[in-house]
Structure 1
Amino acid sequence: MDKQDLKQLKKYFNEDKKFIKDGYYRLRDLGNSHYELAFLEAGPCGDTTIHPQITIDATKNELIPIKLLDLAVSPTLRLTQEEHKNELCEALEQLLQRFYQVIEE
């Protein structure tokens, strides 16, 4: 994922979660060139559950995933770049493809 991907996603997604087809999509600017890319599942009582949420460092051209949180799996999943770099990169690629898939439909 690079800054071009981020620029493209910003055209469609923002701080507000947006329901599209199978769940909610959100791109949140955390400041200091950090962003959260999240897919949220709808719950039975109007709540949402992160599945997953990935925090991204966008200070360089290549976007670096720094942590992942997934509350829809049991046990919950919490990954950091220091310990799970490859898994984070793979999860970010999968989440990015999910976002692009709903844009294209």
Structure 2
Amino acid sequence: MSSVFLFYRKVNKSFRGRSCPIIVHCSDGAGRTGTYILIDMVLNRMAKGVKEIDIAASLEHVRDQRLGMVRTKDQFEFALTAVAEEVNAILKALPQ
């Protein structure tokens, strides 16, 4: 899982301050792409200070934009685990 966050951070760092969009695409443009986009959406909302995030509603929003985003249960579970991992990392970094 940490390789996903290394990639995520590297992508965001390289695009920081630019006005162009980040393009994400897998073979069909929906399954893994949607998973990455869902993770990105949730983490961006967290970074902006949103206190409550409905991940299922976020997925519905993504699917409204493109049918089939996050195709499988495993992909959704991966996104949930990734977000939980990031939340745990943030909590561990807080002063005790």
How does the TM-score come out when normalised to structure 2? 0.32
Structure number with the higher strand fraction is 1
Higher relative contact order (CA 8 A, sep 6+): 2
How does the TM-score come out when normalised to structure 1?
A: 0.30
